[in-house]
Every structure is written in C-alpha cells, then in structure tokens.
Structure 1
C-alpha cells in the first residue's frame, strides 16, 4: 500500500473534520464549500481503493488478510459520502457535526489500513 497516499488521505480527513467542527461551533450547517472538501477527501479514498485493488491483483498480500483489507478499503471509500448524505438531511449544526465525525472515522480507518497492510 502506498504510505504517502494513506497519510495524505488521513490528514485531509482530519482537516475536513476540523473545518466542519468549526462550522458546527459557529452553529452553521454544511455548505457548498464543505461538500467540495468532502469530494476531495472522497476522491482520495477512491484512489486508495483503486490502488489497493491493483496491488492485490498484482499478487501482493496484506499481513492481516485480504478480506479484512478489502472491507476496510470499501468502508473508507463510503465513509465521507455517507456522512455527506446524512448532513443533507440535517441542515443544522448537527449536519456539520455528522461530517466531522465521519471524517474522524475515516482518519481512524486510514491508520487501521496501514496496520492491516503491514506498516
């Protein structure tokens, strides 16, 4: 697994969490700019999904098993879009809190992906 991609995705997720957390602190819902940030973080997670699948197809194997690795990759790719859709349903500060929490979850998933791959 590409360590740099995992690091960039985790840091971007934490930045998104801080940004949406600040919006929640100011009693603001998620706005268009937040959704652009979510799109960037989601794109990074999707690139990571593709890179992980390509590495598996080339014969490389994670230390802790392929099934759990693919499950974590899929969860990481779906984390931010799910939080974004939930924030659309809740157009208050709680929508921003939902995205911030989803971004923190993604950062934790990135650490776990690093461990599963054998980092």
Structure 2
C-alpha cells in the first residue's frame, strides 16, 4: 500500500471527525459542507481501494490474508458513506455525532490496513 495515501485518508477522516464532532457539540445537524467533506474522504478511500486492487493484481500480497485485506478495504470505503446516510435520517446533533463516529472508525480501519499489508 502507499503509506502517503493511508496517512492522507486517516488525517482527512480525523479532520472530518473533529469538524462533525464540533457541530454535534454546538447542537447542529450535518449540513451540505459536511457532506462535501464526506465526499472528499470517500474519494480518497476509493482511490485507496483502487491502489490496493492494482497492487494485488500486480502480484503484491499483504502480510496477512488477502481476503481480510480486501474486506478492510471495502469496509474503509463504506464507513463514511454509511454514516452519512444514517445522518440523513437523524437531522439533529446525533446525525453529526454519527458522522464523527464513522470517520473515527475509518481512521482506525486505516491503521489496521497498514498493519495487514505488513507495515
């Protein structure tokens, strides 16, 4: 995996978590700007999925199971969009808190992806 991309996804996810956590603290629901932030983080996770599949197709293998690695890649891709979808149903501060939690989950998944690859 590309360490720089993993760090970029993790940092942007944590920035999104802080931003949405601050909105939840201020008793605000998710707004359009939050969804733009979620889209940026999701695009980075999609790029990471592409890089991961490209590396696997090129013959590189993770230190652990390939199935587990691909599962974590898919989970990382879906963590923030799933939280964003749930936040649409909860248009209170808890929607923002849900997105913040999803972004923290993504950051943790990134650490685990790095470990699975052999970092």
Q: TM-score interval w.r.t. the shorter chain?
A: over 0.9
Distance 1:8 1:65 in 2: 24
Which residue in 2 is equivalent to 1:6?
Answer: 6
CA RMSD across the alignment: 0.3
Aligned-pair CA distance for 1:103? 0.2
* Structure-2 residue corresponding to 1:87: 87
**Given the alignment of the two structures, is residue 51 of structure 1 paired with residue 51 of structure 2, yes or no?**
yes
Question: Could you give the per-residue CA deviations for residues 53-84 of structure 1, whole angstroms, max 9, x where no partner exists?
Answer: 00000000000110000000000000000000
Name the TM-score, length of structure 1 as normaliser: 1.00
* 2:16 maps to 1:16: yes
Instruction: Calculate the TM-score normalised by the size of structure 2.
Output: 1.00
Question: Is there any run of 5+ residues in structure 2 with no aligned partner, and where?
Answer: none
Cα-to-partner distance string for 1:21-51 (whole Å, 9 max, x where unaligned): 0000000000000000000000000000000
Q: How many aligned positions are there?
A: 119
Provide the rounded CA distance (Å) in 2 between the counterparts of 1:97 and 1:64. Answer: 33
- Unmatched segments (≥5 aa) in structure 1: none
Aligned to 2:97: 97
SS of the equivalent of 2:27 reads coil
**In structure 2, distance between residues paired with 1:19 and 1:78:** 19
